[in-house]
Structures are given as structure tokens and as C-alpha cells.
């Protein structure tokens, strides 16, 4: 059974997948997750489609995808933990990120970081930077690892499942998912703003009570 024709960017990456197979899946997801521009999500969907056509093993695709995603984000975390904080402290003032503002951001990420790490993987930009941000804000590594692993499993499971089951319907499905991802991203943005506003209001109430 031959693999179905792949739409758009999926078709562009097909030759890489055909040549490198599982190495392409693991390698591209791994480097994408610590900031290197790479079509990690695209290769995952394409590999799942190939698995659905009998060209690859879906269990191997999922396992490699999860491991590569976790390892890549941990490299990002290490980069942020070892160098990010010092860079912010030294050069942050030039982009209006004062020590006071950084401290507030750090506390916010410490409190809500688990949710952010879990959902960040589903959004372009956040997926590549989430490990670096977690390391920069000194999120405890075991906490980061747990939520990162959860996010990796959900992300790989979703896209591998979609690709594996889609078959020849992948063009229509891919179009619809891309269309509605904008609304999901907007909803996450509203949620983050709401959390920030709630935190500010609580602090004001606490100040009034102590006055």
C-alpha cells in the first residue's frame, strides 16, 4: 500500500521522510524544541500518514516523537537555566525588562508555569521557546519535566492520531485544523490575560486590607 499524496508543506517534506525515515522524525522534532527552525510538527503528521499506509510503524513514530520532544525541550531548559537568567539581568534593561519586572514575570511563571508548559507545545513559537523560558525563570526541573512530558504525549498523540486515521482525507482535515488553531490561540491569550488581571486585583485587595 502506497502513502497518500500529501498536501502543502507535508508534500514538501515527504522526500526527507522517505530518505531518512525515523531519523528524520526524531531529529527534526528534537532540534525544533530548543529553538532551531525546523518542521517538527509537519514531519510528525507526515510520518503518521506513512504509518497509516503501512510505510512506517505508528508505535515507533509516537515513541520517537515523544522522546525527541522531551529531550529537545530539556536542552532548551538547560540553555535558559545556565545562560538566560544572567543575560536578562545584564541586558534586560535595554529592552525595558527591569529586574523588578523580571521578578514579577518569574513569579507568574512559577505559579502558572505547569499549564503554560503543557499547552505551549501546540502553538508555533511557544513550542520552540517554552523550555528556554522555563529555564530562564528557574522553574524547578522536575516540575518542568513532568508537565513537559505530559505536553509532549498529548501533542504527539494528537497529531500522530490525526495523521494515522486521516488517510486520503488529510487535506481537508489539515485545512480545518489550521483554520481553527487561530481561535484556540486567541482563547489561550485571553486566559493568560485573565490570570494576570486576577493576580493584580488580588494584590490590590491585599494592599487595601493591610492599609
pLDDT of residue 11: 66
pLDDT at 15: 81
pLDDT at 95: 44
Please name which of 22, 122, 20 lies closest in space to residue 64, comparing C-alpha atoms: 22
pLDDT of residue 64: 94
**pLDDT value for 54:** 77
pLDDT, averaged in runs of 10, over the chain (211 residues): 58 78 91 80 86 84 93 87 68 55 62 76 74 80 88 89 73 62 60 60 70 60
pLDDT for 69 equals 92
**Set of cell numbers at residue 174:** 489539515
- In whole angstroms, give the CA distance from residue 141 to residue 188: 24
Are residues 22 and 160 in contact, defined by beta-carbon separation less than 8 angstroms?
no
Is the pTM higher than 0.85? The answer reads no
DSSP annotation of 33 reads T
CA distance 15 to 39: 13
Tell me the DSSP string of 37-63: ---HHHHHHHHHHHHHTTSS-HHHHHH
pLDDT of residue 9: 60
pLDDT at position 67: 95
Give the pLDDT of residue 61. Answer: 92
Domain residue ranges of the chain, discontinuous segments joined by +: 8-206
CA 98, CA 65: separation in Å to the nearest integer? 38
Torsion sign (Cα): 74, 78, 80, 81? positive
Amino acid at each position: 500500500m502506497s502513502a497518500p499524496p500529501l498536501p502543502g508543506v507535508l508534500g514538501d517534506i515527504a522526500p526527507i521522510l522517505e530518505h531518512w525515515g525515523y531519523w528524520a522524525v526524531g531529529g527534526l522534532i528534537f532540534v525544533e524544541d530548543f529553538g532551531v527552525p525546523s518542521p517538527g510538527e509537519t514531519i510528525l503528521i507526515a510520518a503518521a500518514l506513512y504509518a497509516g499506509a503501512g510505510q512506517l510503524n505508528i508505535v515507533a513514530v509516537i515513541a520517537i516523537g515523544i522522546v525527541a520532544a522531551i529531550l529537545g525541550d530539556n536542552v532548551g531548559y538547560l540553555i535558559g537555566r545556565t545562560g538566560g537568567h544572567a543575560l536578562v539581568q545584564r541586558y534586560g534593561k535595554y529592552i525595558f525588562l527591569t529586574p523588578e519586572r523580571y521578578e514579577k514575570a518569574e513569579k507568574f511563571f512559577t505559579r502558572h508555569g505547569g499549564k503554560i508548559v503543557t499547552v505551549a507545545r501546540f502553538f508555533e513559537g511557544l513550542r520552540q521557546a517554552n523550555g528556554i523560558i522555563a529555564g530562564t525563570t528557574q522553574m524547578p526541573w522536575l516540575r518542568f519535566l513532568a508537565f513537559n512530558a505530559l505536553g509532549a504525549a498529548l501533542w504527539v498523540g494528537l497529531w500522530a492520531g490525526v495523521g494515522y486515521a486521516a488517510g486520503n482525507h488529510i487535506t481537508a482535515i489539515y485545512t480545518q485544523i489550521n483554520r481553527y488553531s487561530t481561535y484556540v490561540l486567541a482563547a489561550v491569550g485571553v486566559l493568560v490575560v485573565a490570570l494576570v488581571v486576577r493576580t493584580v486585583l488580588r494584590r490590590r485587595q491585599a494592599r487595601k486590607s493591610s492599609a
